[in-house]
Amino acid sequence: MKRFIKLVGAAFVMATGVGAGLGAEPAEGKPLAIRVVVTADELADAPASPMICGNFIEAGFGRQTEGMWAQMLFNGSFEEIPPYTAALYDTLGHGPKDDLAAQPWWHSGYEENPWELAPGNDEAKWRRADHVGFWRGQWGGWLANPSKTRWAAVIQRGLYLRKGETYRFTSMLRTGRYPWDLASEDVSIQAELRLYPEGGGAVEPIARKTIDGIGKGLSPKSCTIANADHEGRATFGLWIPPETNLGMDDLSLMPASNVQGWRRDVIELSRRLRPPIVRWPGGCFASFYHWRDGIGPRSERRPVTSWFWGGLYDNDVGTPEFVQFCRLIDAAPLLCVNMMTGSADEAADWVAYCNAPADHPVGRLRARDGFAEPFRVKYWELENEPYRRFTPDEYAQRCAEFARQMRAVDPTIELAVVGYDPFRPHVGEILEICGQHVQYVIDRATDEETLRGVLDAVRDYNKRHGRRVRLCNTEWPAPEWERPANVDEAALAKIPNVKGRQRCWYSALNVARILLTFQRLGGDLAFSNFNNFANTWGQNAIECPKETTYLAPVGEVMELFVRSPAAWPLALSVDDKPEGVEIQAAWNADRTALCVNVINYRDDAVTLRFDLGRLRRKFAQCDATVLWADSLTSYATPERPNVVQRGQSKEKLSDGAALDLSVRPYALVHAVLE
C-alpha cells in the first residue's frame, strides 16, 4: 500500500515510493482507480507547434484595445457614439433595453462615461459642436461661462488614479465668444485642470494645474499633474473662470508610466501570459477596416464607427501601435486583411507599410511615423468570414489576386485562407485555385474529427501538388454548450449569457482539453488564436478593469500551456477511465522529458497509475503543477481575481517506470518527468 502525505494547505498529496499525487487523499486501502499505459507510439509525424497558445485582439468589440491602452478619458474628441448593433446584442445574448452593467461579467473596463457640465453653475452651458471648432474627428466641445462670479467646467467621471502616479494631459484648446468666432483680436484666457475624488460633494481637488495662454485659434496645450496620495476613482474637470469661453478637442489623460501608450500593468500581465502570436484587428471588424485610417499622428486620426459591432473605435491603436505591442510581449503579429470592402492594392500597400524599406513610397509612411526599420510582419490572414459575401470560387479567385500583389511586395510573407463553416466542404476546390500562393488553411473547429477531416483534404492537395500547406485556427473559443454533466445548473442560471458562462472554470478546462487536441495534430497545425485576449464581455484570457489587471481562468490555463514542453503526443491504453477525466502524455521536442496532463471535471478526486515501462526510459523526478477552483462555475472578478489556485511540487521518483497521481476535483495537472 502506498503512503500519502498531505502538504500545507492540502494543495497536494505526495505519494512516496512511486510518484507524485496532486489533490486529495484516496481512501485507506482503495486501489488506484485508473490504470494508464503510456505507449511509445507517437500520434503525429511532426512535433506539436509551440504556437498553439496564440491570442486575438479585435478592435471595436468588447473594449479590448481601449482597456489595454493607457488613455483614461472616453471619447476625448466628443464624437457621436453609434449605437451597438443587433450583431453585438445577439452575440451577448441581450438586447438594447438590457442593462449590460448589471451582468456578472461587467467591470469598470467597460465603462463609457459621458462628458457632463459640472454642477454648481446654472448659467454655464456645455455642448458638442459639429462642423465648427473641431480638430480630431468631426466634433468638438464648447464650454460657455457667462457667470460673473462662478467658475464652470466640463467633467468626466470614472477615472481611476494610482497613488504616486504622474499624469500627462494634452489637448487642443481655444477661446472666443462663439465656436465660430475666429476674430484676430488678441484674447487669451487661463483654464485649470482639476482631479477630484469621485462621489464627493464640495471637496478640495486631489490635484490642480493651470493652463495658460489659450488664444482664439485651436492650439496644442499640455501639462503634467501629480497625484501624491489618492488611490481610487476620481473625476476629471477642465475649468474656466467667470465670463470666459473654451473650445476643446482631442483631450487626453494618460499615466506617465505608460509603455509606448499601453498600460504598464497590461504589458506586464501580457508578458506573463506570453502568447506566441496575436491576431488583429478582427474578426468582423477587419472586414470594414482600412489600415490607412490607423497610421500617422494619433491626433490626426479620425475615430471610426465599428460598423459590424456598433460603438466608436477611437483609433488610438493602429498598425504601428499593435506591432509595438507584439514586440513588447515577444509575440508574432498576425494581420487580418480586409477583402470584403477593401482592395488588393490596399492590401499590398499594407504589406509595404509594414515590410518595405524606408525608401519605398509606402515604406516612407512608416518611417514618417517613427519606424525606419521594417516591421517584418510575417503572418497575414485573407479576410475573416468571406462567405458573408463571396462563394468559395469567388473567394479563392480573390485570394489568388490579393496574394499575387501582396507577395510581389514581400515574397517572404505567409498567407492563410479561410476553409471553415460553409467553406469547409470546398477546401480542395479553394486550394486548387489559390493553393500555390498560400501557406495555411484556416479552420475554426475544436473537435478532432472535424479537424482531421480538413487535414485529409489539405494533405490530398499537398500530395498532388508537392506543397506543404498546413492548418491553422485563427479564432476559437471553447464552445459554451460543451458543459460537464455535473455542472451546477443553479449556479449557471445566475450567469445568463453565453459570454458570461465562457468565463467559468469549466470553460477554462475546456480550453485545456482543446489545446490537448491541438497537440495531437502535431506539426500539421501551425498556430492557433484563442478568441479573445482582453475585456470581451467575459470570454477572454485577461481582464483590464481600470483599477487593476488579472488573468481570467482561461488565462491561467493558457499561461500553463504556453510554457509546456509537450511536443510528441503518445498513444495511451487506459483501463476504467470514468466520465469527466481527460488524460494525455507527450514527449518534449528532443524526447528527453515526458509531459503528463490530467483534467478532472468530476466532483470527486481521481487516482491514476501511469505505467511508463514501454518507454524504456527511467525517470528520476516529477515536476508538477496543479490548477483548480472551488467549483466548475467559479469565475474571477476584480474583487476576487484569484479564484483559480495554483500549486507546485517537485518529487524524486523511486520507481522510474511508474507514476501515481491523485487529482483533486475540478483540477488540471501538468507534470514533467525527467
CB–CB of 293/302 below 8 Å? yes
CB–CB of 554/508 below 8 Å? yes
Same domain, 246 and 269: no
Q: How far apart are CA 265 and CA 271, in angstroms?
A: 10
Same domain, 289 and 402: yes
Query: What is the three-state SS of 608-628?
Result: EEEECHHHCCCCCEEEEEEEE
Instruction: Output the CA angle 170-173-175, nearest 5 degrees.
Output: 160
For CA atoms 296, 302, 306, 307, the dihedral sign is negative
Q: How far apart are CA 48 and CA 61, in angstroms?
A: 31
Q: How far apart are CA 623 and CA 588, in angstroms?
A: 14
Q: How far apart are CA 53 and CA 366, in angstroms?
A: 30
Same domain, 295 and 275: yes
200-214 pLDDT tens trace: 666 789 999 999 999
Looking at 218, 236, 255, which one is the last position of a domain? 255
Closest CA to 598 of 563, 619, 628, 620: 628
**Residue 489: half-sphere exposure toward Cβ, Cα within 13 Å:** 3
150-195 pLDDT tens trace: 999 999 999 999 999 999 999 999 998 877 776 656 788 999 999 9
Q: How confident is the model at residue 16 (pLDDT cuts 50, 70, 90)?
A: very low
DSSP state of 48: P
Same domain, 197 and 323: no
CATH number of the domain bearing residue 489: 3.20.20.80
Using the structure block, give the residue that is written with the C-alpha cell 469547409: 424
Query: What is the three-state SS of 384-396?
Result: CCHHHCCCHHHHH
Same domain, 250 and 264: no
CA distances from 66 to 69, 261, 264 (A): 5, 11, 14
Q: What are phi and psi of 106, to 5 degrees?
A: -70, 140
The arithmetic mean of pLDDT across residues 401-414, rounded, is: 98
Same domain, 443 and 473: yes
Same domain, 414 and 443: yes
Specify if 303 maps to a domain. yes
Looking at 562, 578, 601, which one is the last position of a domain? 562
The arithmetic mean of pLDDT across residues 45-55, rounded, is: 98
| Structural domains of the chain, count | 2
Copy the grid coordinates of residue 641: 481575481
Q: What does the CA dihedral 122, 123, 128, 134 come to, rounded to 10 degrees?
A: -140
Same domain, 294 and 227: no
CA distances from 107 to 26, 67, 158, 480, 589 (A): 41, 11, 12, 21, 41
Helix (H) or strand (E) holding 265: helix 264-273
Specify if 588 maps to a domain. no
Q: How far apart are CA 289 and CA 305, in angstroms?
A: 10
User: Residue 548: which domain range?
Assistant: 54-108+258-562
Amino acid at the residue 142: W
Same domain, 236 and 305: no
Looking at 255, 271, 290, which one is the last position of a domain? 255
Cβ-proximal residues to 35 (8 Å cutoff; 6+ apart), any chain: 574, 575, 576, 608, 609, 611
Copy the grid coordinates of residue 33: 482507480
The arithmetic mean of pLDDT across residues 128-135, rounded, is: 87
CB–CB of 458/427 below 8 Å? yes
Same domain, 385 and 498: yes
Q: How far apart are CA 77 and CA 141, in angstroms?
A: 8
CB–CB of 627/663 below 8 Å? no
Helix (H) or strand (E) holding 381: strand 379-382
227-260 pLDDT tens trace: 999 999 999 999 999 999 999 999 999 999 999 9
Copy the grid coordinates of residue 181: 468666432
Q: What are phi and psi of 585, to 5 degrees?
A: -130, 145
Same domain, 214 and 271: no
Pairing of strands 34-42, 606-611: parallel
Specify if 671 maps to a domain. no
Specify if 44 maps to a domain. no
Beta bridge partners of 665: none
According to the model, what pLDDT value does residue 423 have? 98
Q: How confident is the model at residue 25 (pLDDT cuts 50, 70, 90)?
A: very low
* Predicted TM-score (pTM) above 0.85: yes
Q: How confident is the model at residue 8 (pLDDT cuts 50, 70, 90)?
A: very low
Torsional class of 62: left (φ above 0), alpha (ψ -120 to 50), beta (otherwise): left
According to the model, what pLDDT value does residue 2 have? 36
How many other C-beta atoms lie within 10 A of the C-beta of residue 192? 16
Specify if 164 maps to a domain. yes
pLDDT over 60 (residue 354): yes
